[in-house]
Amino acid sequence: MGYFEKALLAAAVIGALSGLVGAVVVLRRRTFFAQALTHATFPGAVAATIVGVSIPLGAALASILIVGIMTLIGRVKRQGSQVASGILLTAGFALGVLLQALNPSLPVQVDSYLVGSILTVTTGDLALAVGVLGVALAVIVLLGKEILFSTFDPSGFRAAGFREWPIELLTLALITATVVTAMPAVGAILAIALIAAPAAAARLVMRTTAQILVAAPLLGAAAGLIGVLLSRAIDVAAGPAIALTAAAFFLLALGGRRLLRARLRLRS
Amino acid sequence: MIENPSQVRPSAPLALKVAGASFSYGQKPALADIDFEVHAGEAVALIGPNGSGKSTLLKGILGLIQRVGGTVEVLGSYPAPVGSIGYVPQADEIDQQFPVTLEQVVMMGRYRSLGWLRLPGKRDRQAVAHALEAVGLAHRAKTRFGELSGGQQQRGLLARAVASGPRLLLLDEPFNGLDQQNRDALVGTVNRLKAEGVAVVVSTHDLQLAREVCEQVLLLNGTQVAFGPRNSVLVLENVQRTFREVGVEIDEHTVVVPGHTGH
């Protein structure tokens, strides 16, 4: 497989994963949390480069650390988590820049951690993405009903005798794994576009959660493929092309919904 | 309108026993010294002003908030047996934009007995259809929950509780903002469940509802003011002690609590 075919495949798989987990993020209203997490992976990746270990491993460790700190600050709930996410988003980013400045002789371009570099993804990155996508699919098929119930009506869920924390922990783990996996392709800063935009677009035009869970990964994969093809056709960086394609899907969905509503209003 | 016989049935098994129970939110005590019991097929109305602890008591029975003293037993055991309690929250606590159909919401009532990892089967779908039939919403099964009227949403949440096959049903202000049609449908369903042996605890501002559905009344005002058969508890002195801040009028048939009688 050539580097370009590999990039296309990686973009499709990572796009599908981001769309699928993004649907859970959007439905559970955890977009800001996910964004903070994407920024937290940046110092983890820089530190991993300095120490000389695998970058996804560094990003994952940093994410777990950040989720732990967020849990302590905000107990990862409602109001408190917004504050915790906001603080850690900027702190994570600042720490990454600081680490980078302290080590000017790093062997790789640290920029690629911020906006991604899908044309240089390794077979290992690709295998990780396929693996995480498989796990995410299994979790959503097997535990979809509990995730749905706890997201729709948390107090009703607890009143029915369920515990909330296994679902909370599981969705946090899925979001973390997705952010870490998406980083090589679209980078720490742009990952949130691929996670939030296809899911938010699907949320706008679909009526049921099942439809959203099908449409969001398809849109995510399409954003990945179109972004990579665009980047070759008009010679721009792939990460931003993917992020902008995902954003365009969201705007199209928004416009489409407005048109549909206006037409319904005219008819009635 | 159906008047319920005000009889107490001591022969029916005990569904809920609350003895000397106190509840708190974190460090803050919320409700103290609650003593009452409900038998199968019987209903208790929780009546009190806003902030008197009605919702707190329901959440305390469910174990959603901390109990700091006393005991709460459902069907003789604590914690309550799995799936024994059906809870109907206020519909306005629910996310109106969430993409989920009425049918899916009612199916959630089956999840606990289904258990983790398993998908609903034929029996579950039958139970859901039956529950929707019971509240008169079978024709709205595929409608998105947020597109239903407030009253229909409330009935939908009742259907979710019915689908779980509870022995004890807890309703939190189910009649707020309901029109007559929705109100009658809800009263009819609750009375049918009682006839099937389900015990009911319902918090309400609506004294008329207490008359239509409940044999027993518990008056609350941060603490327990009175508990017992409806007619002996709903007397002027008790109601005045419960609604200290607001004027109360009472005669043989009605208690008028300004700001609390309307829907």
Same domain, B101 and B216: no
Asked whether residue A39 carries a pLDDT value surpassing 70, the answer given is yes
Q: Which residues of chain B are under the pLDDT cut of 70?
A: 1-11, 245-263
Burial annotation A217-244 (CB, 10 A radius, 16+ → b, else e): bebbbbbbbbbbbbbeeeeebbbbbbbb
- Report yes or no: B218 and B47 within 8 Å, Cβ to Cβ: yes
Whether A154 maps to a domain, the answer reads: yes
What CATH number did the domain enclosing A94 receive? 1.10.3470.10
Cis bond before residue B166 (omega within 30° of 0): no
Whether B64 maps to a domain, the answer reads: yes
**The CA-based dihedral angle spanning residues A196, A200, A203, A206, taken in that order and rounded to the nearest 10 degrees:** -110
Do the Cβ atoms of A208 and B89 come within 8 Å? Answer: no
Measured in whole angstroms, the distance separating CA B114 from the mean position of its chain's CA atoms is 24
Nearest residue, CB atoms, B87 vs list A145, A148, A159: A159
Residue B235's pLDDT is what?
84
Whether A261 maps to a domain, the answer reads: no
Measured in whole angstroms, the distance separating CA A163 from the mean position of its chain's CA atoms is 26
Same domain, B174 and B68: yes
Same domain, B157 and B178: no
- Give the residue from B249, B220, B251 showing the smallest Cα distance to B33: B220
Whether B89 maps to a domain, the answer reads: no
Probe site for chain A from B25, B111, B125, B168 (most A CB atoms < 10 A): B111
Domain boundary among B113, B132, B164: B164
Whether B90 maps to a domain, the answer reads: no
Whether B61 maps to a domain, the answer reads: yes
* Structural domain count of chain A: 1
Whether B236 maps to a domain, the answer reads: yes
Contacts of A157 (CB under 8 A, 6+ apart): A146, A149, A150, A164
Same domain, B228 and B107: no
- Report yes or no: B132 and B138 within 8 Å, Cβ to Cβ: yes
Nearest residue, CB atoms, B144 vs list A146, A158, A207: A207
Same domain, B261 and B181: yes
- Write down the pTM of the prediction: 0.84
* Average of per-residue pLDDT values in chain A: 88
Nearest residue, CB atoms, A156 vs list B87, B101, B144: B87
Domain boundary among B114, B143, B164: B164
Q: Is B101 on the interface with A (CB under 8 A)?
A: yes
**In a 10 Å sphere around its CB, with 0-12 CB exposed, 13-18 middle and 19+ buried, how is residue B195 labelled?**
exposed
Whether B53 maps to a domain, the answer reads: yes
Sign of the dihedral defined by the CA atoms of residues A48, A51, A57, A62, in that order: negative
Cβ-Cβ contacts under 8 Å, A207 against chain B: 99, 144
Joined tokens for residue A173: 């783990």
Residue B261's pLDDT is what?
42
- Give the residue from A114, A129, A138 showing the smallest Cα distance to A224: A129
Strand B28-39 with B14-25, pairing: antiparallel
* Structural domain count of chain B: 2
Domain boundary among B131, B164, B197: B164
Same domain, B157 and B172: no
Asked whether residue A42 carries a pLDDT value surpassing 60, the answer given is yes
- Show the CA angle centred on residue B76, arms to residues B73 and B80, nearest 5°: 55
Could you give phi then psi for residue B199, rounded to 5 degrees?
-85, 145
Do the Cβ atoms of B100 and A155 come within 8 Å? Answer: no
Contacts of B97 (CB under 8 A, 6+ apart): B146
Whether B105 maps to a domain, the answer reads: yes
Same domain, B170 and B143: no
Do the Cβ atoms of B99 and A159 come within 8 Å? Answer: no
Kindly report the nearest CA distance between residue A159 and chain B, in angstroms.
6
CA distance A212 to A144: 13
Contacts of B98 (CB under 8 A, 6+ apart): A27, A151, A152, B145, B146
User: What are the strands of the beta sheet with B199-204, ordered from one edge?
Assistant: B85-88, B168-172, B199-204, B43-47, B216-220, B224-229
- Give the residue from A234, A212, A252, A246 showing the smallest Cα distance to A11: A246
Angle between helices A165-205 and A31-51 (to 10 degrees): 110
Cβ-Cβ contacts under 8 Å, B89 against chain A: 153, 155-156, 159
Range list of H helices, B4-50: none
Among all residues of chain A, which has the CA nearest to that of B106?
A149
Cβ-Cβ contacts under 8 Å, B26 against chain A: none
Residue B148's pLDDT is what?
92
pLDDT digits 0-9 by tens, A48-98: 888 888 888 888 898 888 888 877 776 655 556 677 777 878 888 888 888
- Give the residue from B214, B99, B7 showing the smallest Cα distance to A26: B99
Do the Cβ atoms of A146 and B82 come within 8 Å? Answer: no
Cβ-Cβ contacts under 8 Å, B114 against chain A: 145
Q: Which amino acid is at A136?
A: A
Whether A264 maps to a domain, the answer reads: no
Contacts of A50 (CB under 8 A, 6+ apart): A99, A103, A106
Do the Cβ atoms of B100 and A159 come within 8 Å? Answer: no
Joined tokens for residue A20: 């699928």
Q: Is B115 on the interface with A (CB under 8 A)?
A: no
Whether A265 maps to a domain, the answer reads: no
Kindly report the nearest CA distance between residue A27 and chain B, in angstroms.
8
- Report yes or no: A36 and A85 within 8 Å, Cβ to Cβ: yes
Hey, how many other C-beta atoms are within 10 angstroms of the C-beta on A52?
A: 8
Same domain, B256 and B185: yes
Same domain, B206 and B123: no
CA distance A96 to A76: 23
Whether A260 maps to a domain, the answer reads: no
Same domain, B32 and B55: yes
pLDDT digits 0-9 by tens, A153-204: 988 898 888 888 889 889 989 999 999 999 888 888 888 999 999 999 999 9
CA distance B144 to B89: 18
Among all residues of chain A, which has the CA nearest to that of B112?
A160
Same domain, B174 and B156: no
Joined tokens for residue A195: 């996670």
- Report yes or no: B98 and B180 within 8 Å, Cβ to Cβ: no
Cβ-Cβ contacts under 8 Å, B120 against chain A: 145
Do the Cβ atoms of A160 and B109 come within 8 Å? Answer: yes
Whether A217 maps to a domain, the answer reads: yes
Residue-number span of the structural domain to which B157 is assigned: 96-164
CA distance B219 to B241: 9
CA distance A203 to A200: 5
Percent helix / strand / coil, chain B, rounded to 5: 35, 25, 40
Same domain, B141 and B41: no
Kindly report the nearest CA distance between residue B83 and chain A, in angstroms.
7
How many inter-chain contacts (A to B, CB under 8 Å) are there? 74
CA distance A80 to A88: 12
Joined tokens for residue B130: 């039956």
Asked whether residue A128 carries a pLDDT value surpassing 90, the answer given is yes
Do the Cβ atoms of B144 and A203 come within 8 Å? Answer: no
Q: What is the mean pLDDT of residues A25-40?
A: 87
Do the Cβ atoms of A153 and B94 come within 8 Å? Answer: yes
Residue-number span of the structural domain to which A33 is assigned: 3-255
- Give the residue from A94, A72, A93 showing the smallest Cα distance to A83: A72
Whether A266 maps to a domain, the answer reads: no
Considering A139-148, A213-222, B143-152, the range whose residues carry the highest mean pLDDT is: A213-222
